[in-house]
Structures are given as C-alpha cells and as structure tokens.
Amino acid sequence: MTQVVAVDIGGTHARFAIATIADDGSITLGEPETLHTVDHASFQTAWEDFRDRQGGTLPRAVSMAIAGPVGGEVIRFTNNPWIIRPSLVKEKLDVDSYTIVNDFEAVAHAVARANENQFIHLTGPDKPLAPTGRLSVLGPGTGLGVAHLYREPDGTYRVSATEGGHIDFAPLDQIDDAILSRLRKRHTRVSVERVVAGPAISDIYQTLAAMEGKPVADEDDIAVWTRGQDGSDSLAAAAVDRFCMSLGSVAGDIALAQGGFGGVVIAGGLGYRIRETLLKSGFAERFKAKGRFQELMASIPVKLIVHPQPGLFGAAAAYASEHRKPAQ
C-alpha cells in the first residue's frame, strides 16, 4: 500500500486529497480540499496550507495534474501565474517521489480506470466505451483540456496529453461567424478554447444580444451561466445552447483528428453541471455533422464522466502507473 498526495491544479482551483494505492492497484481517495489559486502566491504556499489542514504532516509522495504543458525545466500554468520547477519538487515539498502530468492526461487516466457506472450516455450508440483502441477525452473549464487514451488488448493502456484546446475555431453558420468576428477584435488567432471554455459564455451572450439589438451589461461568465441554466433569461439560455453546439463540433473534430473512434468522453466540472442541457441541446447533431463522415461519427459512443474528482483520481492513477512495481 502506498499513500500519495494527489493534486489537481487548474486556472481557478487547486484541489488536494490523500490517495491510497492498494497493492492490487485499486485507488481510494480521501476527502478533497479545494483551495483558490488567487489566494496563494505559489503552489508551495498552497501545499503548506493543505499540510496545515492535515495536521502538519503529509505522505512523502505527490502526483500533480497541471493545467498546461508539463515539459521543461520550468512549468508554467496556462491560466494562473504559478510556476513549478520539477528539479526542486523534492526539496520544496519534502517528498521522496513525484509524478507531474497534464491535467487532462490525468483525466484520461481516470477514464481508463473508472467503472462503467461512472459514465452517463450523451449520444451515439448506447454501449460501453471500447475495451481496446483509441478514445478521445476533452472538457471545458477555465480552459479546454484535451487528451487521448489508447487501450491495449492485454488490458494495459497508454495516455497522451495534448494541447488540442488551442486548435483553430471553425465556424459553421452565421451565428458562429458573428462570434468569431467579436473574438477577432481581441485575438488575432481564435482557438476553440475561446469558444468552448467556461468564460466564453460571456462573448457568446454578448454576440447574441448584439444580433438582436439588445443592450446588455458586461458581466462575468458565472452570472450568464446561472441565468442560462435556471430559465430566467431566454437570451442566456440561447447562449448556453450555442455553447453546447460548439462543444459538439469541437468534440467531433477532436475524435476525427485523434482517431478516437472507440469513444469520446466529456469531462470537467462544467460539463457535469450542464449535463441535462447537453442532452437536450444541439450537441449531438453538431458532433455528427462531419459531411462524408457523418455515418462514422454516429457510430461513436459519447459519454460524460461523472466521477466526483476525476483529476485527483487520475493524478493518483498516473502515479501508480509511473511508479508501479515490476512484475515478479
């Protein structure tokens, strides 16, 4: 049995939990703690805060899932100002071993190990994810995370992180054109993350308002999401539906690019919060709308992972995979 501090660090939150990895490879997560990244000057001070909350001592192993590229001597986060120097992790955190993975690489590890009852069906054939072959994993949050998972016939698997959230946005109709036009005023190059990450709902809402000639106040994305979900604002609801349509388009593009024909998994807290809207929106139609490949797209099962902490669970799974003991 091994105990590891699992950490899932995004643009807004840093989540911590003590994970126990049993000798048979099964993983149990302790109660998670969520800290706000803006409340801490660095990852080390957030670590120390969590350590204090745990009574002053922590296991001497850590696995970090990080929102951003993880190679090189200095790791910089995509949507928060923290940095991590891998060469100093043992010294700064007082640990003996560590694993560092991209946040959606961790989520793909969670997808690989999660039970079937931790997924709900979104579109495509209502069957389990393929036991072998390639699966695509993506999810909107502060940014858009993308990874892929390859399941081997012998039951093992491989995970690769990607920066697929930064591919170009491809508009499909006049409303998409209008959203792109608005975003181009601020960004020379508009990536899909600008359209299908949580903060994007504000630009979508403002675009729809301008098309209808309705003056609306600039406000944060949380307010728009709230009104769009509770039915109090029909324009905000239309923005949420448009978001879901764009997410379907992007998910289909990622599946085509990666060859994720064994299944596509939507992850992330935002995906879970809008799950009912996803089912009723144009997500499924846009996912399949790939011209000559529509029949192929319709054959792909698309799921939403509902594990309560896929980033933390996946970080622990990544550590177990990297540090597993060789077979005797």
Query: Residue 325 and residue 328: Cα distance in Å, rounded?
Result: 9
Structural domain containing residue 284: 164-305
Q: Do residues 196 and 293 both lie within one domain? A: yes
Predicted TM-score (pTM) of this structure? 0.87
pLDDT value of residue 69: 75
Condensed to tens digits (0 to 9), the pLDDT of residues 223-261 reads 999 999 988 999 999 999 999 999 999 999 999 999 999
The residue with tokens 């324009």 is 235
Q: Do residues 87 and 191 both lie within one domain? A: no
Task: Tell whether 49 is in a known binding site.
Answer: no
Query: Residue 17 and residue 25: Cα distance in Å, rounded?
Result: 17
CATH code assigned at 94: 3.30.420.40
Section 75-104 average pLDDT: 88
Q: Is residue 132 part of a domain?
A: no
Section 267-282 average pLDDT: 88
> pLDDT band at residue 325, thresholds of 50, 70 and 90?
low
Which pair of tokens denotes residue 313? Answer: 């669970």
Task: Tell whether 25 is in a known binding site.
Answer: no
pLDDT value of residue 328: 39
Per DSSP, helices labelled H in 76-190 are 89-93, 103-113, 174-184
Q: Do residues 300 and 312 both lie within one domain? A: no
pLDDT value of residue 194: 96
Q: Is residue 137 part of a domain?
A: no
Q: State whether the Cα torsion 211-213-215-216 is positive or negative.
A: negative
Q: Do residues 209 and 301 both lie within one domain? A: yes
Section 93-100 average pLDDT: 93
Condensed to tens digits (0 to 9), the pLDDT of residues 101-134 reads 988 899 999 999 998 999 999 999 999 999 999 9
Task: Tell whether 9 is in a known binding site.
Answer: yes
Give, for 276, the enclosing helix (H) or strand (E): helix 275-280
Task: Tell whether 8 is in a known binding site.
Answer: yes
Q: Do residues 7 and 46 both lie within one domain? A: yes
164 DSSP 8-state letter: G
Buried b (16+ CB within 10 A) or exposed e, 146-163: bbbbbbeeeeebebebbb
Q: Is residue 225 within 8 Å of residue 202, measured between CB atoms? A: no
CATH code assigned at 257: 3.40.367.20
Condensed to tens digits (0 to 9), the pLDDT of residues 147-179 reads 999 999 988 899 998 889 999 999 999 999 999
Of 165, 162, 57, 109, the closest CA to residue 315 belongs to 109
Q: Do residues 207 and 292 both lie within one domain? A: yes
The total number of structural domains in the chain stands at: 2
pLDDT value of residue 327: 45
Q: Is residue 109 part of a domain?
A: no
Q: Is residue 127 part of a domain?
A: no
Which pair of tokens denotes residue 37? Answer: 């990244």
pLDDT value of residue 62: 94
> pLDDT band at residue 326, thresholds of 50, 70 and 90?
very low
Q: Do residues 312 and 291 both lie within one domain? A: no
Task: Tell whether 62 is in a known binding site.
Answer: no
Task: Tell whether 21 is in a known binding site.
Answer: no
- Cα dihedral: 220, 140, 232, 34 (round 10): -70
pLDDT value of residue 71: 78
Q: Is residue 108 part of a domain?
A: no
> pLDDT band at residue 142, thresholds of 50, 70 and 90?
confident
